[in-house]
Amino acid sequence: MKEQRPKKLLDQVRDTLRLKHYSIRTEQAYVGWIKRYIFFHGKRHPAEMGAPAACASWSACA
């Protein structure tokens, strides 16, 4: 039997938004924001980053 890998972050986000019956446009917007956040931080998973990284991304947007 093959071991199943956990779902990727964006797939988890999409599943959660669909479960909560969010519109497709809202889902696309949220996924876009998350992608930009991840790319801003050099493709690091958000779970690996702390509060200083979050502040840095928002400061760059301002």
Based on the structure, what is the number of domains in the chain? 1
Examine residue 13 and state whether it is found in any structural domain, yes or no.
no
Q: What is the DSSP letter of 1?
A: -
Residue 16 has a pLDDT of: 96
Whether 6 is covered by a domain: the verdict is: no
The per-residue pLDDT for range 29-40, each reduced to its tens digit, is 999 998 998 888
- Contacting residues for 22 by C-beta, under 8 A, at least 6 apart: 30
The residue that leads in pLDDT, 57 or 34, is 34
Kindly state whether residue 32 falls inside one of the protein's structural domains: yes
Answer whether residue 31 is part of any domain. Answer: yes
Please name the residue that has the structure tokens 């917007």.
29
Residue 46 belongs to some domain of the structure:
yes
- The predicted model scores a pTM of 0.67
Q: Is residue 3 included in any domain, yes or no?
A: no
In a domain, 35, yes or no: yes
Average pLDDT estimate for 43-54: 70
pLDDT score for 37: 84
Q: Residue 56: which domain range?
A: 24-61
The predicted model gives 36-61 an average pLDDT of 71
